[in-house]
A = this chain, B = another copy of it.
C-alpha cells in the first residue's frame, strides 16, 4: 500500500510533515510505503536527521510550490511540478493509493475534482469534521464549508457519503443520520431543510432519524449530521474556538481535550474516485501522522468501492 504525502503543504512544512512521517513510521507497524512529495533539497537533511527506515519511504521531487493564497485553478495549471500537482498525477496513475496535503485547500479541491474526477452519480464532493462525543465514539458533521449553497439532493448525497464513511472508516454500525435543523418536527426549518427532510426520509440507503438541533451536535442523537456548508463551517469554527477558550481559561478536562481538532489531522474529500485527504493549514506532526493512518483506513476499508457501489445502485434503482 503506497500513500502519497505532500511535504510542502501547511504552515509548518516541511519540518512538521517530516516529524509526522517519523511519528507514523515509529508507532505503526504496517506495510504502508510512504511517497513523500517535496523539494529534495529541503527534505534530504530533515529526513536524514529523522533517522527513518529508508525502505519504508521514497521521495518524489517537486520543484514548484503552490502558496496558501494562490488562485487554485491558475496555480495548478501553471505549476505542474508543484507537490500538489504531482500528488494528483501519481494518484491518477495509480502510483499511490491515497494523497494527503495540508496545502492550499482550493487547489486540493480543484485537483480532486478535475484530476481524479467525481464518482459517477455524485453531484458535489464534500468535506466533513469529527464531532467529539462524551461516549468516546465520535460523530461526523458534513458539509463544513465547500458547499455554502446547497440543493436538497446535495444534502441527501452528503448523508449517503457520510453514512458510508462513518460505517466503514469510523466503525459505527448502521449510523444514525440526522438533518441539522431548528426544530425537531418534520416541516420545521428553512426552505432547504423543509425540502430535504422528505428526501432523507424516503432514502433506503441511510438510517435517517429525523431533525437534530444545535444542542445535539455533541450528543449521540445522530452519528452523522448533515447540513449545507455555511452552517457546518460556522459550527466547526465555533467548536474549534471552544478549545481555545478551554486553553485560555486553563480548564483541563479529558472530554474537552477532544475539541483540539488539530489531532484529527484532516478531512477526506468524499465523493471523488480516490482517497484524498485535506489537512488543516496549521497541521503539526500528530496531525500528519493521523492523516496517514486515516488514508490507510480509507484504503483498507475499501470505502471508495462501497461508495461507488452505492451510487451505482441509486442510478440503476
Binding site for B on A (CB under 8 A): 134, 145, 148-149, 180, 182, 189-191, 193, 213-219, 227-231, 233-242, 244-245, 248-249, 251, 253, 255-256
Contacts of A240 in B (CB 8 A): 214-215
Q: Give the distance to chain B from A229, nearest Cβ to Cβ, in Å.
A: 7
Residue of B nearest to A237 (CB): B214
Residue of B nearest to A242 (CB): B242
In the complex the two chains form, is B190's CB within 8 Å of A214's CB?
no
In the complex the two chains form, is A241's CB within 8 Å of B255's CB?
no
Residue of B nearest to A219 (CB): B241
Q: How far apart are the CA atoms of A244 and B216 in the complex, in Å?
A: 11
Contacts of A251 in B (CB 8 A): 251, 253, 256
Contacts of A234 in B (CB 8 A): 180, 182, 213-214, 227, 231, 234-235
Q: How far apart are the CA atoms of A87 and B58 in the complex, in Å?
A: 76
Taking each of A228, A237, A244, A255, which has the highest tally of chain B beta carbons within 10 Å of its own beta carbon? A237
In the complex the two chains form, is B255's CB within 8 Å of A238's CB?
no
In the complex the two chains form, is B235's CB within 8 Å of A149's CB?
no
Contacts of A237 in B (CB 8 A): 182, 213-215
In the complex the two chains form, is A236's CB within 8 Å of B214's CB?
yes
Taking each of A182, A228, A248, A253, which has the highest tally of chain B beta carbons within 10 Å of its own beta carbon? A182
> What secondary structure prevails in chain A residues at the interface with B?
helix
Q: Give the distance to chain B from A153, nearest Cβ to Cβ, in Å.
A: 17
What are the 4 tightest A-B residue pairs by CB atom distance, in nearest-first order?
Answer: A214-B237, A214-B238, A148-B190, A214-B234
Q: How far apart are the CA atoms of A193 and B149 in the complex, in Å?
A: 10
Q: Give the distance to chain B from A146, nearest Cβ to Cβ, in Å.
A: 10
In the complex the two chains form, is A191's CB within 8 Å of B149's CB?
yes
Contacts of A145 in B (CB 8 A): 182
Contacts of A190 in B (CB 8 A): 148-149, 228-230
Contacts of A256 in B (CB 8 A): 245, 249, 251
Q: Give the distance to chain B from A157, nearest Cβ to Cβ, in Å.
A: 18
Q: How far apart are the CA atoms of A175 and B33 in the complex, in Å?
A: 56
Q: How far apart are the CA atoms of A219 and B249 in the complex, in Å?
A: 14
Q: How far apart are the CA atoms of A180 and B134 in the complex, in Å?
A: 29
Q: A148-B189, A214-B240, A215-B244 are in contact. List 6 more A-B contacts (CB 8 A).
A: A145-B182, A182-B233, A190-B228, A214-B234, A214-B235, A249-B253
Residue of B nearest to A245 (CB): B218
In the complex the two chains form, is B149's CB within 8 Å of A230's CB?
no
Q: Give the distance to chain B from A152, nearest Cβ to Cβ, in Å.
A: 14
Q: How far apart are the CA atoms of A230 and B193 in the complex, in Å?
A: 10
Q: How far apart are the CA atoms of A182 and B233 in the complex, in Å?
A: 6
In the complex the two chains form, is B218's CB within 8 Å of A241's CB?
yes
Residue of B nearest to A227 (CB): B234
In the complex the two chains form, is B182's CB within 8 Å of A230's CB?
yes
Taking each of A189, A229, A242, A248, which has the highest tally of chain B beta carbons within 10 Å of its own beta carbon? A242
Residue of B nearest to A182 (CB): B233
Contacts of A180 in B (CB 8 A): 234
In the complex the two chains form, is A249's CB within 8 Å of B255's CB?
yes
